Amino acid sequence: MNNHERLLGILEEGSSDYVSGEEISRRLSVSRTAIWKQINKLRELGYNIDASSRRGYRLISRPDRLEVSRLSDLVTTQSFGQRIIVLDSTVSTQQDAMSLAEEGAPEGTVVLAEEQTAGRGRQGRKWYSPRGKGIWMSIILRPTQPLAFTPQLTLLTGVAVCRAIRRLTGVEAGIKWPNDLLIHGRKVSGILLESATEDQRVRYCIAGIGIDVNLNVEDYPEELSHVGTSLKIEAGFEIDRTTLIAVVLEEMEQLSKLYAEQGFQPIAMLWEALSVTMNRSVRAHTGQGVAVEGTAVGLDPSGALMIETDLGERIQVISGDIQL
Ligand code: BTN
């Protein structure tokens, strides 16, 4: 821990009370002038700290920046988020998480970034990841099941993020197959699961989660302005990203436990209950470019979407996008 972090820790302990310069000086073994310099540095970083010559210093508010120390304090999980890396700017957290997985980082390792310069979406699309406004996060998974089961992990991740959003904001996000999260028909979050394999064996998966948290209407570029939305726009208030990350990790851990103990069936039931796709008329474009139309009737045991056509034929959609 550096001196900044220790100073912040002391101010946080005091919560809304002043902490005297004398006490800080004693605990950090630095002069009062050094403290004053550090306080000014913290103010430059966006911390609002009140200074009173009689009473000392009081932390009024913090910048909305992701910090490992605060995340670690809030994360209550046993494996998810035991190791968290926060980057200021990166190309894509997917790449960073992959490099760490190659080096042997354990399941549950999390990489977060304040901004991504080339965030990746599904099907080769770009993912808009502006600084400080969202959660751009990749989690290392080390599944033991064969490759054919990895779509189930995508759906599990979608359920985890959807439940976390509902729990924390009260906003009724729903899942559009396979794992777009929508609010009032607009996309608020997307999930990209990438796998590294060797002879049909999964070496690891990276679950990439993007959540538009505190974007304002004017933050969206033209091409996203009619299709995207944020939690702040929908809930009407700013959301603390750190708390939401902790809740997503909690949900991931709980659902992964359930999945390990009872298999995919309970996850599929939760998914179906949160889905906006079920029993709706959908048009699907499969990975092979084949167009199918019908009613979404549920998930099959592998996690594929079952569509029933007007002729009563059931078709499995394994990959691709659907239109509602
Ligand atoms: C999609 O809906 O197309 C999936 C979007 C996934 C975006 C996340 S943000 C964190 C991680 N890093 C990336 O480059 N992509 C994923």
The 10s digit of each residue's pLDDT in 127-185 is 999 999 999 999 999 999 888 899 999 999 999 999 999 999 999 999 999 889 999 99
17-34 burial string, b = 16+ CB within 10 Å, else e?
ebbebeebeeeeebeeee
CATH class, domain 3-61, is mainly alpha
CATH class, domain 281-323, is mainly beta
152 Cβ inside 6 Å of ligand 1:
no
CA of 132 to the centre of ligand 1 (A): 16
What confidence score (pLDDT) does residue 1 get?
58
CA of 194 to the centre of ligand 1 (A): 10
Is-same-fold flag (3-61; 281-323)? no
Overall pTM > 0.90? no
CA of 143 to the centre of ligand 1 (A): 20
122 labeled binding residue: yes
* pLDDT tens, residue by residue, 214-269: 999 999 999 999 999 999 999 999 999 999 999 999 999 999 999 999 999 999 99
For the segment 7-18, the average pLDDT, to the nearest whole number, is: 83
Under the banding of pLDDT at 50, 70 and 90, the label for residue 290 is: confident
158 Cβ inside 6 Å of ligand 1:
no
Looking at this predicted complex, what is its ipTM? 0.99
What are the tokens at 119? 């965030």
136 Cβ inside 6 Å of ligand 1:
yes
Atom of ligand 1 nearest to the CA of 134: 9
Question: Which amino acid, 82?
Answer: Q
- Please say whether the structural domain 68-274 has been given the CATH code 3.30.930.10: yes
pLDDT value at 295 more than 70: yes
142 labeled binding residue: no
More confident residue, 187 or 291: 187
CA of 127 to the centre of ligand 1 (A): 6
Domain ranges of the chain: 3-61, 68-274, 281-323
What is the sign, positive or negative, of the torsion defined by CA atoms of 27, 32, 37, 40? positive
179 Cβ inside 6 Å of ligand 1:
no
138 Cβ inside 6 Å of ligand 1:
yes
CA of 121 to the centre of ligand 1 (A): 5
